[in-house]
Structure 1
Amino acid sequence: MTYQVIYVLLLLIVLLTSPTLAYYSQPNLLTVIPFKQGLAYIKREQSIIVFGGESNNAKYTNDLNQLTQTATGYNWTSLAQQNIPPAVAYGQAVISKDGNSMIVLGGITNTTVNQVYPLQLYQYNFNTATWSNQTNTNNVTNTAAPLNRWLFSATPDTNTGQIYIYGGVVNDTSIFSDFWLFDPSTSGFTAMPAPTIRRYGHTASLTSNGKLVIIGGVIVSQDYTQNILAPMDQLQIFDIASKQWTMVNATVAANNILPSPRAHHSAVLINGTHILMFGGNNNAVGRLRASINSVYMLDTTTWTWTSPDISGILPSRRAYAVAEILDDRHLTVAFGKRINIYIYVYSADDHFILAIGGAGSILYNDINALDTFTDSWLQSFTDSGSTNWYGLSTGVIIGVSVVCAFILIIICILLWKFGHHIKWIIYRIHSDIWKPRSGEPIWAETARICSQLFFLFLFLLFLAFVIRQAIDSPNVTQTIQTPSASVEVPDIRFCFDGYPVYADPNDVRNPGVACQTDNGYSCNQFIKPLNMSVFQPNFADKFGMVSCYLFRSDVYFQLTGTSGANNGSRLIFSLYGDSTISAGAIHLSTFPKEMDPIVQVYNINDGIPSLLDRDEVLNWQNSDLNDLQSTNVYTVSPFTYSAIGYTLSDHQYLQDVGWNYVGFLPVTNSTPEISTAFRMESANPTYNLTHSDIGVIAVTPDSYTKTTKREVKMYTLVNALGFVGGVFGILVTVQAWLFGYRPLSPFGIVHRWSVGNMKQSILRGLYTSFKTNEDTIPMVTPVHRRFSMLNVNDIDNDINDQQRITMVEERMQTLERVFKAYYVNDEVFRSLDNASKMSTSIMRDQYHRENTNHRNNTDGTLFDKLITDNKSTKGGDYELVQRNDTSSSNSSDTAKHHHDPKA
C-alpha cells in the first residue's frame, strides 16, 4: 500500500510541475530562412507574412514568405505569386479588414530611389495568389495623395479597415510631416491634420480607445537644421475621434528606467492598451551607429514606462526587425540588421554614450521568442497554465501545496505504522555505540563518543569534498603520437569568389583546380565540382560569382614520408581562373573525411561514413551562409603561393555519463579532427606573365604519426580512494591515541543487522559450533554466582568442587574455541603441534636403533625409561611426547575423569 501511495505522489508531482517543452530553434529553418532586414510584414492568424526587404545578395527583393508558429516550433514556407511587383525594401504592409488580402505601401525600389513618385500600392490576394497594382499614377504632387516614401508608418484601423499614414523619408532633403488616411475600399486618400514635426524611423500603434501613439524615430525641424532622436518621455498622440494632435508626458514606474531614444525599432500592441517595444538603434552615421535589444512596456492608460526584468538568452542587438505576437503570449522577433561595432559604451540607464570602431552590417535570419507571461527569452515553448508577469503559475503553486500535504500525511502514516521498528532501530544504534569499559567513568565514554562523532563529521565533510571535486573535475586532453609510415589526407573545399564561369566548358578562363603530389602522381580524379544550385556559400567580400570544388580522395590514398613506390609526401594544388580579374579570392575549407558536412549537403555517396548528425550539418550551413566559419578556413589571394600544414587526430571525448566519474574504462566518443597552419606569400604582380594558373597551394602533413587526443578527468573517484583512506587512517589513529585501542568485533554488518531466517541461522551456527551450558558463557556470565558483583554476599556451597572443576573445564574449552574461531590465528599453535609430533618420531627411531637386541621387551616401558633418562637434556618436550603416546590409551579415562569424582 505504501509503495502505491508513493507512486501516485510521484506521478502527481510530474503532472503538476513538469511543463510541456518544444524546442523551436530548428537548425533546418536557419538554412532556408534568408538573411534580411527592412521587410514589409503583417500578422495573419498564427503567421507572419513577409515581403521584399534587403538581403545579403540583393539590395531589394520581392519574394513572399510565411513564418508560422505551431505547437512544436515554427514553419517557413514560400507563397505562390502572380504579377509579382518590383523588388522593394523598407515598405509597410497592412492586412485587409476581412484578412483575405494584403496591401504593401511605399518602400525603395530601383525606380523610386531618391525620386518623386506617387505612393506605391500593391495588393496581394491570398485566395488567388495574385498581385494587383493600386498605385495612382496620375498623382505627381502631394496635394491629392502622398508621395512615395520609406521609413514611415502605416497603421490600420481594425474597425473601419482604413489606414493612417504618417511621416517618412525619400532622401536627406525630403523628410515628411504629412498625415494621410487611406481607404482601401475606394482607393482614396484623405489629407488629415498634420503635426509640424518631420519624422521617420518611428512606430505608430492605434489603441482600443482610438489613440494613435507615435513612439521614437528621428525628428527633423522644418528647416532641416535640427536632427535628433525623439525623446521617450514626450509622446505624440493623435485622437481619431477629435482629429487632434497632442503631446503627452510619459512617466516611469517605480524602480524602472526611461527607455533610451531610438529609431527603427519594433512596437506591438497588447490587449489594446499596452505597447511592447523592442530593439532599434541610435541612427548615428558610420562607426558611431549602435543597436540595442532591450524591451520596454508602455501602459497607455497611465502613460507609464516599465522595463521588465527579463531572463534568458537575449537576442542579438538589431534594428529593422520583424516583431509580432501570434498566440496572445509569445513575442516573435526575426530578421533585422546590426552595424558591426567593435566597442559599445552604455550608461546604466541604457542610453548611448560612445561607440568606437566599426565594419559592415550584419543581417539576421534567426527566430527569437519572448514569453510575455514569465518575462523570459525562451529556448523552448512552455505551457505552464495561467501565469502572471511576476510570479509562478497558479497550477504550480497548487501542485506544490498538494504535494507538501501528501508528504506530511505519508510521514504521519509511516510513524504510526512502523513506530516500533523505528524504536527498535534507535535501541540497536544506542547499544552499538554506548559501550563503556569496566571501571571507566561516564565522562570518558561520553568524550569518546563525542570525539568519534566529530571525527565522523570531518570524515564525511572530506568525503563530500572529494566526491564534489570528482564531479566538478575539469577535463584535460592527453596527446599521444605514434610513428606511422603513412597518413591520411583531408577533404578540401575550394571556392572561387568573383571568377565568372563561361558558357564554353573548355574555356581556359573558367575556374578550376588541378592536383598532383610531389612525385608526380596525379590526383585530379579526386576533385569534384559542387552544384551551386543545391547550396551556395556566402562570403562577406562579395567579389561576385561563386563556384566551388571539393577534393575528396579514397581511403587508400595516403601520403608517405619515405621515398619509393608511393603516392608522395605532399599535395600540390594549382588554381585556375580568369587571370585578367584582380578583384577575386579563393576560399579554402579543410575537414576530416568523416566530419565533412559537404558530403551530406551535396549527397555525395562514396562509401566513407559521415559522423555528423543532421543538426550539425544544418548549423554548419547556417554559418557558411553568414560567413561565420573561422576554424581551418583560409582565403588565398590570386597570384600567390600558399602552404598548409595539417594534423589529423582521433579526439576521444568523454561522454556525459556517470561511469566516467569512476576513473577507469571511460566511455568516450571518437571524433576525427584536423588542425591546420597556413602561410601565404605576397601577391606577385608579374605572376600571370610566367604562369598559366592564378596560384599554387602546397598541403603537407605536419608529421608522419598517428595522433590520438584522449580526454580524461583530472580528478576521479578512484583517485579519491587514496585520499579518503589516508584521512580515515589518520582519524582512527588519533581516536585510538586519545581513548585507547579497542578490539574490533569479528561481526560485520551482515551478522549484526540480519533479520528473520538469516539471523536465526547465524545464532544456530554459533550454538552448534560452541555448544555449552547456558550458565558458563565466558565474559558474559560470571564463573559462579558467588563471584558475581551482584551476589558478592550470597555464598552458595551447594555445588561441590568436582562440579565446579567440570564447569571451569567446559568454560575454558568454550573460551579456547571462541578465541580460535574469532580472535586468535592458531597457525603458531599448529606449528608447535607439528614440532611436537616430529620430536616424538625422532625419539622412536633412536630407541629402535639402540635396542635392536631387545625387540621382545615392552616398548612402552623402555621408551618411558628413555624419556626419564633424557629429561635433563630434552626438557618438557618429552613430557608432551609421553602424553601424546598415551592419549589414545587413556581416552576412556579422560571421559571418566569428567564424570567420576573419585578419579
Structure 2
Amino acid sequence: MYTQAVVLSNNDSVAIIGGKYEGYFPNITDPIRAQVYSFSQNAWTSLPGLEGSGAVPPHRQEHTAVKSANGLIYIHGGVSSFNNFTLIMDNWSYDPTAGIFTNLATPPVALYGSTATALPDGRILYVGGWYSDPQFDPGFSDYFLFNQSAVYNPEGDSWQIQELNADAIGNPEVARVHSNAVLGPEGRYLYYFGGDNLGITGVDDEYYNDLWMLDTQTWTWTKPSVAGIQPRARTGGSGALLSSKYLIFGLGGAQTFRFNTFDILAAAKVSNPETNEVDFSSAKWIANTTTGEILNQAQWSPNGISGGIIAAVVIVCVVVVLMLLYLAFRFRHRVRRAIMRVHYGIWSPRTGEPLWAETARLISKVILMFLFIAFFVFVIVQVIESPKSTYIVTEVPEDGQVTIPDARICFEGFSIQESPEDGSVYPRVSCMTDTGLSCNDHITLLDLEYYNPHFMGNLGNNRCFLFTGNNIGDNQNVLKLAPETIPQLNSGHDFQLSFRTVNISESGRVHVSFYPAERDPNRVIFLSDTSPKLSDSDISAFIANDNDDYSSVNTVDLKPFDYAYVQYQLESKEYLTDNGWNYVGFAPNHNKTPEVSITQRVQNQPDMADTMVARMIIAPATYTTLIHREQKIYSLVNGVGFIGGLFGLFVAFQAIMFGFRPRSPFGLVHRWSVGEMRRSISSGLKDRFNVNKTPVPLVNPVHDRYSLDMRNYGRSYVDDEEATYIDDTESLSSEHRMTAAAGTLSPIAAKGTPSTSQIFVNDDSRRLAQVEDRMQLLELVFKSYYVDDEVFQRLDVALKRPEDQANRASRRSIGNYFRNSRSDQAGPRSTADHVELPMREQEQTVQHPAAVPVPQQHFRNSSDSD
C-alpha cells in the first residue's frame, strides 16, 4: 500500500514503485523497492537498474511517480516509512529503456501525500499535500495550500512555485492530502477529487468527495455543480482517464474502512474547440455496467426530443385513428350489435319497477364496480411489491444424526519448526471424538503459497489447516454426531480439537473459523473442490473480507492456554427466487443456502499438557437443522380471497338495497362465443327443447290477453346472428291483437323469423294440450339449468320401491272389488269401450292428429342428456 503504479510505454507492463510492505521497516538509506508486472507473460520481475552500480533513490512511501511526455518516470517526495518518519526532499528520473536512475535538482519543497500530473507540454504539476521548506524546519511545515502549486520543467531541470487563483474556493486555507488528480481529455483542466485533512490524532479526520477543476492556462480553480449520484468520500484512492471521455476514481478508504468500488465521471464537454474551454455544468457522475458500456443516467428532458421524432409520433397516431374509424364504419353493424348487447345487458328493469329504482341500481353498481376495480388494482400492486417475511421450520434428520461443519484453523505468530521428538512439523492440530475415535484424517494442511490469510494482529508465521467432516472425494467417511453415543452407529456426541506447538511459551494466536461444508470457500481455493453453492463473486467477496479480517461471525480467536467450548447450529436459508411463479403464493421456488451459526465460551486454562497451547470442544447446539424459509406477505392466493370477500359484500349490498335477481345459468362462454361455437349452442337448445314446437315459457304468453303482463321498459334484444330489435309496445298495438286473434304469426315471425314457438293460440280446444306441453318444457328447462333433481330422483325411487307381498295382495283385492263395482253399475260395454286410452291421448288422437307425443327420454336429467 501507499505505492505508485506507472504504465510503461509498451502498454504491456506496469511498474510498482515504493510503498509499504508487510513486515518491512526500511531505513532512510535502504534502496527503493520496485517491481514490474507483464500482462502478456503474467509474471513479476524486478525493476531494471536496482541491482546495478548506479545511484538508486532511497525507499519511500506516499510519494509521487509519474511518466512525462519524454517517456521518463519522475519520482518525488514522500516519507521513508511510518516507523522512520522522515520527509524526503529529492527528485529522481528513471529511464525504463536504459534502466538508469538520475538524481535531479533539489526541489524547493518536499511534498508528502500530494498529486503529480504530467501536462501535455512535458511539465509536471504538483498539487496538494504537506511540504517542507529547507529554509525552515526540515520536518513538516504546513499544507501545500490550494493557492499555490509546484511545477517542474524536465527540459531545464527547474522548479517554479505557481500561484493559484483561489477566490472561488471559499476557504483557501483548507488543503488536503492523498487526493487524486487526473488531466481531462482536452489536456487543459485538472480534475481534483477526494482526499483528507491528515488529522494527526485520528479523531478529527475529515474526508472529501467534492470535485474541483483547475485551469492550467489561467491557473484558476472552479468548483462545478456536478449532476448524478455523489460518490462516497475517500482518500488514498486511484484515478485515471478512461476512453478519452470519462474519468474513473476508485479504491481508497476512510479511516479503517477500505473501498473496492469505482465512480465514473463524464468529463465536461468542450464548448470552444479553439481554446479547449469546457462547459463545467456538463460534467456528471454516471454508473458503469458489467458489459463494459457506460450508461448515461441523465434525466429525460422534453427538449432532448428532436422534431422528427415528434412528427413521426403524430403521423403514426393519425394513421391509427383513421384505421380505427375505417374499421368502425366497415363493421358498423357488428359494432352496433355489440353496443346493443352491452346496453341490454346493463339496462334491465323488472316489470312494474319504476325508472328511478333501476337508475339507482345502475349508479350503485357503477360505484361498486369502480371500488372493486380499485381494490383489485391495489391487491395486484400489493402482490407485486409485497415485502417478505421469514419463518423457521425445524427439520429432524431421519437417523437422528447431524453432520459437522468445516473449520479452518490458522496458527499466527508461532514458530514453524520440526519437533525433535516425533519429527512432526509444528504447530499442528489433532482431533478426537468423545468415543475415542481419532479424526486426524479429516485434517488437511493448506498450502499458503497460493493464498495466505491476513489477520489484524499481523504476527506473521501463518500455518493453516482445514478440518472437513467428510473427506474430499470420500462420501463414505463422514463424521456424524448424535445425542446418544453409539460407536457402531455414529461418531459420538462431540469432538475435541487440540492445538499444539513446540514452544508453548510463544505469544501467538489460533484462529478457528467455521463454514457449512456445501459453502466452504477454502475447499475451492486450496483443495480445487467445486461447490455449486458458491459463485466467483462469492469467492472474491470472501477473499476481500478475509484480507481485511472483517469477519466477526463463526470465528473463535484463542490465545495461549485458552480453553473454548463451541456449539454449532446447522441452518438453511431458503430465499425466494426472482421468479414470476412466486407471486402466486403456492409451491414457491427457493434458493437454498446452507449456513452455520456458533455460540462460544472461552476461558483460560494454564495447566495445558505437553505441547498443547489451546484446545476446543465442539458439539451441536441441537441435533436438527433450522430452516429459515422466506415467503411473500401478499400473494395471488390470499389476494383472491380478499377480492372474493369484497365481491361477496358488494353483491350482498346490491341484493339488500335493490332486491335479489336470479343469476343466469349462462356464462361468458355462452354469451360471447362466435362462429361455429355459437351455432352449436343454439342448435343444442333447439334440438333438446323444441320437440313439440311449444311456445317458449316466460317469453311467449299462451294467449294474447296475457301479453300486457309482459310489458317492460326499453327494447327487447333477440340474441341471434340475424337479430332484430323490437319494441314491446308494438306487441300491444291493435294490429298485433288482430293478428293474434286470427291465429296468425306474431310480429317477430312476420318480420322474417318464423317460429312455431311464437304462435298465439286462440283455439280453446287446443289450449289445454298446449299448456301441458309448456309445463313439460318448463320442467325440462328448469331441471337442465336451474334445479338439481336429485331429491326428486330419490323420491321417485322411494315411491316405486317393492312392498311386502301381503300388502300388495291386499291392495290388489281392494282394487278388483272397486273395479267390479264400477263395471256392474255402468252396464255392458262394447268391444271398443274396453280399449282404454288416457284422456290426454284421446284428446290428441281426436282433436290433434298431427301432434306427436313427447318421448320420455327427452325429459331426462340434463347430465344424462349430455
TM-score, length basis structure 2 = 0.75
Map of 1:600 onto structure 2? 524
Residues 226, 283 of structure 2: 8 Å contact kept: no
Tell me how far apart the structure 1 counterparts of residues 67 and 159 of structure 2 sit (CA, whole Å).
25
Map of 2:750 onto structure 1? none
Map of 1:653 onto structure 2? 575
Tell me how far apart the structure 1 counterparts of residues 705 and 134 of structure 2 sit (CA, whole Å).
122
1:256-405 superposed matches below 5 A: 261-270=175-184, 271-298=186-213, 300=215, 303-311=221-229, 314-315=231-232, 317-340=233-256, 362-364=257-259, 366-372=261-267, 375-380=284-289, 401=310, 404-405=313-314
Unpaired runs of 5+ residues, structure 2, are 27-32, 51-55, 268-281, 709-730, 744-762, 825-834, 852-866
Tell me how far apart the structure 1 counterparts of residues 297 and 663 of structure 2 sit (CA, whole Å).
63
Residues 577, 590 of structure 2: 8 Å contact kept: yes
Tell me how far apart the structure 1 counterparts of residues 299 and 36 of structure 2 sit (CA, whole Å).
39
Q: Sequence identity, in percent?
A: 28
Residues 393, 629 of structure 2: 8 Å contact kept: yes
Map of 1:454 onto structure 2? 367
Map of 1:524 onto structure 2? 440
How far 1:609 sits from its partner (Å)? 5.5
Tell me how far apart the structure 2 counterparts of residues 53 and 239 of structure 1 sit (CA, whole Å).
21
Matched, 1:741 2:682: no
Map of 1:28 onto structure 2? none
Map of 1:544 onto structure 2? 460
Tell me how far apart the structure 2 counterparts of residues 868 and 718 of structure 1 sit (CA, whole Å).
75
Residue by residue over 1:738-762, the C-alpha shift from the partner in whole angstroms, topping out at 9 and shown as x without a partner, is: 0000011111110001011111111
Q: How many residue pairs align between the two structures?
A: 747
Map of 1:151 onto structure 2? 113
- Amino acid of the residue matched to residue 500 of structure 1? S
Q: Aligned pair in 2 of structure 1 residues 580, 782: CA closer, same or farther (>3 Å)?
A: closer
How far 1:592 sits from its partner (Å)? 1.4
Map of 2:168 onto structure 1? 251
Map of 2:16 onto structure 1? 51
Map of 1:416 onto structure 2? 325
Tell me how far apart the structure 2 counterparts of residues 367 and 385 of structure 1 sit (CA, whole Å).
12
Residue by residue over 1:759-784, the C-alpha shift from the partner in whole angstroms, topping out at 9 and shown as x without a partner, is: 11111111111227989333334444
Residues 76, 90 of structure 2: 8 Å contact kept: yes
How far 1:833 sits from its partner (Å)? 4.8
Map of 2:388 onto structure 1? 474
Q: Aligned pair in 2 of structure 1 residues 57, 897: CA closer, same or farther (>3 Å)?
A: farther
- Amino acid of the residue matched to residue 516 of structure 1? M
Shifted more, 519-528 versus 236-245: the winner is: 236-245
Shifted more, 270-279 versus 375-384: the winner is: 375-384
Tell me how far apart the structure 1 counterparts of residues 679 and 288 of structure 2 sit (CA, whole Å).
60
Out of 577, 581, 591, the position equivalent to 2:515 is 591
Shifted more, 789-798 versus 572-581: the winner is: 789-798
Q: Aligned pair in 2 of structure 1 residues 843, 308: CA closer, same or farther (>3 Å)?
A: farther
Out of 468, 481, 485, the position equivalent to 2:400 is 485
Out of 39, 52, 55, the position equivalent to 2:4 is 39
How far 1:891 sits from its partner (Å)? 4.0
Tell me how far apart the structure 2 counterparts of residues 785 and 411 of structure 1 sit (CA, whole Å).
53
Residue by residue over 1:692-724, the C-alpha shift from the partner in whole angstroms, topping out at 9 and shown as x without a partner, is: 211111111112334444333344332333333
Matched, 1:438 2:351: yes
Map of 2:647 onto structure 1? 728
- Amino acid of the residue matched to residue 728 of structure 1? F
- Amino acid of the residue matched to residue 180 of structure 2? S
Residues 6, 66 of structure 2: 8 Å contact kept: yes
Tell me how far apart the structure 1 counterparts of residues 124 and 701 of structure 2 sit (CA, whole Å).
110
Residues 117, 147 of structure 1: 8 Å contact kept: no
Out of 103, 108, 115, the position equivalent to 1:135 is 103
Residue by residue over 1:27-74, the C-alpha shift from the partner in whole angstroms, topping out at 9 and shown as x without a partner, is: xxxxxxxxx335254697999956235457266852345899xxxxxx
Residue by residue over 1:583-608, the C-alpha shift from the partner in whole angstroms, topping out at 9 and shown as x without a partner, is: 32111110111111101101345xx8
Residue by residue over 1:402-424, the C-alpha shift from the partner in whole angstroms, topping out at 9 and shown as x without a partner, is: 88557635642552354246555
Map of 2:564 onto structure 1? 642
Tell me how far apart the structure 2 counterparts of residues 330 and 58 of structure 1 sit (CA, whole Å).
38
Instruction: Give the match's secondary structure for 1:625.
Output: helix
How far 1:380 sits from its partner (Å)? 1.4
Tell me how far apart the structure 1 counterparts of residues 88 and 143 of structure 2 sit (CA, whole Å).
27
1:117-132 superposed matches below 5 A: 119-125=90-96, 131-132=99-100
- Amino acid of the residue matched to residue 781 of structure 2? V
Tell me how far apart the structure 2 counterparts of residues 277 and 434 of structure 1 sit (CA, whole Å).
74
Residues 426, 500 of structure 2: 8 Å contact kept: yes
Instruction: Give the match's secondary structure for 1:601.
Output: helix
How far 1:626 sits from its partner (Å)? 1.5
Q: Aligned pair in 2 of structure 1 residues 49, 899: CA closer, same or farther (>3 Å)?
A: same
Tell me how far apart the structure 2 counterparts of residues 400 and 538 of structure 1 sit (CA, whole Å).
59
Out of 629, 638, 642, the position equivalent to 1:719 is 638
Residues 286, 294 of structure 2: 8 Å contact kept: no
How far 1:896 sits from its partner (Å)? 3.6
Out of 605, 608, 622, the position equivalent to 1:703 is 622
Residue by residue over 1:216-241, the C-alpha shift from the partner in whole angstroms, topping out at 9 and shown as x without a partner, is: xxxxx9999984684x6x56698999
- Amino acid of the residue matched to residue 432 of structure 2? Q
Residue by residue over 1:426-474, the C-alpha shift from the partner in whole angstroms, topping out at 9 and shown as x without a partner, is: 4332221111112222222121112112222222333333344444142
Residues 106, 121 of structure 1: 8 Å contact kept: no
Tell me how far apart the structure 2 counterparts of residues 454 and 296 of structure 1 sit (CA, whole Å).
57
Out of 49, 61, 67, the position equivalent to 1:89 is 61
Tell me how far apart the structure 2 counterparts of residues 841 and 287 of structure 1 sit (CA, whole Å).
111
Residues 40, 53 of structure 1: 8 Å contact kept: no
- Amino acid of the residue matched to residue 898 of structure 1? H
- Amino acid of the residue matched to residue 640 of structure 2? L
Q: Aligned pair in 2 of structure 1 residues 370, 820: CA closer, same or farther (>3 Å)?
A: same
Out of 843, 850, 871, the position equivalent to 2:813 is 850
Tell me how far apart the structure 2 counterparts of residues 322 and 629 of structure 1 sit (CA, whole Å).
26
Residues 576, 692 of structure 1: 8 Å contact kept: yes
- Amino acid of the residue matched to residue 440 of structure 1? E
| Pairwise CA RMSD | 4.5
Matched, 1:633 2:555: yes
Instruction: Give the match's secondary structure for 1:611.
Output: coil
Residues 694, 774 of structure 2: 8 Å contact kept: no
Instruction: Give the match's secondary structure for 1:479.
Output: strand
Unpaired runs of 5+ residues, structure 1, are 1-35, 69-74, 178-220, 341-361, 852-858, 870-884
Q: Aligned pair in 2 of structure 1 residues 533, 497: CA closer, same or farther (>3 Å)?
A: same
How far 1:529 sits from its partner (Å)? 0.9
Tell me how far apart the structure 2 counterparts of residues 890 and 648 of structure 1 sit (CA, whole Å).
86
How far 1:283 sits from its partner (Å)? 1.6
Map of 1:668 onto structure 2? 590
Instruction: Give the match's secondary structure for 2:396.
Output: strand
Q: Aligned pair in 2 of structure 1 residues 828, 648: CA closer, same or farther (>3 Å)?
A: closer
Residues 387, 393 of structure 1: 8 Å contact kept: no
- Amino acid of the residue matched to residue 589 of structure 2? V
Tell me how far apart the structure 2 counterparts of residues 252 and 165 of structure 1 sit (CA, whole Å).
18
Map of 1:27 onto structure 2? none
- Amino acid of the residue matched to residue 281 of structure 1? D
How far 1:261 sits from its partner (Å)? 4.6
Tell me how far apart the structure 2 counterparts of residues 400 and 76 of structure 1 sit (CA, whole Å).
51
Q: Aligned pair in 2 of structure 1 residues 406, 41: CA closer, same or farther (>3 Å)?
A: farther
Matched, 1:496 2:496: no
Tell me how far apart the structure 2 counterparts of residues 761 and 91 of structure 1 sit (CA, whole Å).
91
Instruction: Give the match's secondary structure for 1:704.
Output: strand
Map of 1:694 onto structure 2? 613
Instruction: Give the match's secondary structure for 1:579.
Output: coil
How far 1:649 sits from its partner (Å)? 2.7
Higher relative contact order (CA 8 A, sep 6+): 1
- Amino acid of the residue matched to residue 224 of structure 2? T
Residues 646, 702 of structure 1: 8 Å contact kept: yes
Matched, 1:798 2:742: yes
Map of 1:203 onto structure 2? none
